[in-house]
Amino acid sequence: MCFKRVFSFLLTFVIMLSGVTFSAAALSTEEITAPSAILMEPNSKKVLFEHNSHEQRPCASITKVMTMLLVMEAIDSGKISYDDTVTASAKAASMGGSDIWLEEGEQMSVDDMIKATVVASANDAAVALAEHICGSEEGFVNKMNEKAAELGMNDTVFKNCNGLDEEGHVTSAYDVAIMSSELIKHEKIFDYTSIWMDNLRGGKTQIVNTNKLLKTYNGITGLKTGTTDDAGCCMSATASRDGLSLVAVVLGCNTGTERFRDAAAILDYGFANYQYKLLSSPDELGTEIEVTGGMEKNVEIECNVDSGFVLPKGSASKIECSVSLPEAVEAPVKSGDKVGSVTYSVDGEELASFDITAKTETQQINFGSVLSLLYNALIAL
pLDDT tens, residue by residue, 38-65: 999 999 899 999 999 999 999 999 999 9
Highest mean pLDDT among 4-8, 84-88, 291-295: 84-88
pLDDT surpasses 90 at 141: yes
pLDDT of residue 218: 96
The pLDDT tens digits for 281-290 are 787 788 889 9
pLDDT of residue 31: 84
Span(s) in the chain for CATH 2.60.410.10: 279-380
pLDDT band of 295, cuts 50, 70, 90:
confident
Say which of 61, 89, 98, 181 is annotated catalytic.
61
Span(s) in the chain for CATH 3.40.710.10: 29-275
pLDDT of residue 27: 79
Percent of the chain topping pLDDT 90: 68
CATH classification number, 29-275, choose in 2.40.30.10, 3.40.50.2300, 3.40.710.10, 3.30.200.20: 3.40.710.10
pLDDT surpasses 60 at 14: no
pLDDT surpasses 80 at 378: no
The pLDDT tens digits for 297-343 are 888 999 888 777 788 885 435 788 889 999 899 889 899 999 999 98
pLDDT of residue 161: 97
User: Mean pLDDT over residues 192-199, rounded?
Assistant: 96
Q: Residues 114, 129: contact at Cβ < 8 Å?
A: yes
pLDDT band of 26, cuts 50, 70, 90:
low
pLDDT of residue 16: 26
pLDDT surpasses 90 at 130: yes
pLDDT of residue 368: 59
pLDDT of residue 15: 27
pLDDT of residue 230: 96
Q: How far apart are CA 219 and CA 214, in angstroms?
A: 9
User: Mean pLDDT over residues 245-250, rounded?
Assistant: 98
- Identify the sign of the CA torsion 122, 123, 128, 133: positive
Percent of the chain topping pLDDT 70: 88
User: Mean pLDDT over residues 138-155, rounded?
Assistant: 98
pLDDT band of 374, cuts 50, 70, 90:
low
Residue-wise burial string across 85-121, b where 16 or more C-beta atoms lie within 10 A, e elsewhere = ebebbeebbebebbbbebeeebebebbbbbbbbbbbb
Q: How far apart are CA 70 and CA 114, in angstroms?
A: 12
pLDDT of residue 380: 64
Q: Residues 120, 208: contact at Cβ < 8 Å?
A: yes
Say which of 36, 53, 64, 98 is annotated catalytic.
64
61 is catalytic: yes
User: In this structure, are strands 274-278 and 338-346 parallel, antiparallel, or unpaired?
Assistant: unpaired
121 is catalytic: yes
Q: How far is C-alpha 355 from the chain's CA centre?
A: 22
pLDDT surpasses 80 at 6: no
pLDDT surpasses 90 at 255: yes
Say which of 36, 89, 98, 121 is annotated catalytic.
121
pLDDT of residue 314: 59
The more confidently predicted of residues 276 and 37 is 37
**pTM, entire model:** 0.80
204 is catalytic: no
The chain-wide mean pLDDT, for the chain, equals 88
Look at the chain and count its residues.
Answer: 381
pLDDT of residue 377: 59
pLDDT surpasses 80 at 37: yes
The residue type at 94: S
The more confidently predicted of residues 315 and 209 is 209
User: In this structure, are strands 288-292 and 328-330 parallel, antiparallel, or unpaired?
Assistant: parallel
pLDDT surpasses 80 at 18: no
pLDDT of residue 105: 97
- CATH superfamily label, 279-380: D-Ala-D-Ala carboxypeptidase, C-terminal domain (2.60.410.10)
pLDDT of residue 22: 34
Q: Residues 241, 220: contact at Cβ < 8 Å?
A: no
pLDDT surpasses 70 at 132: yes
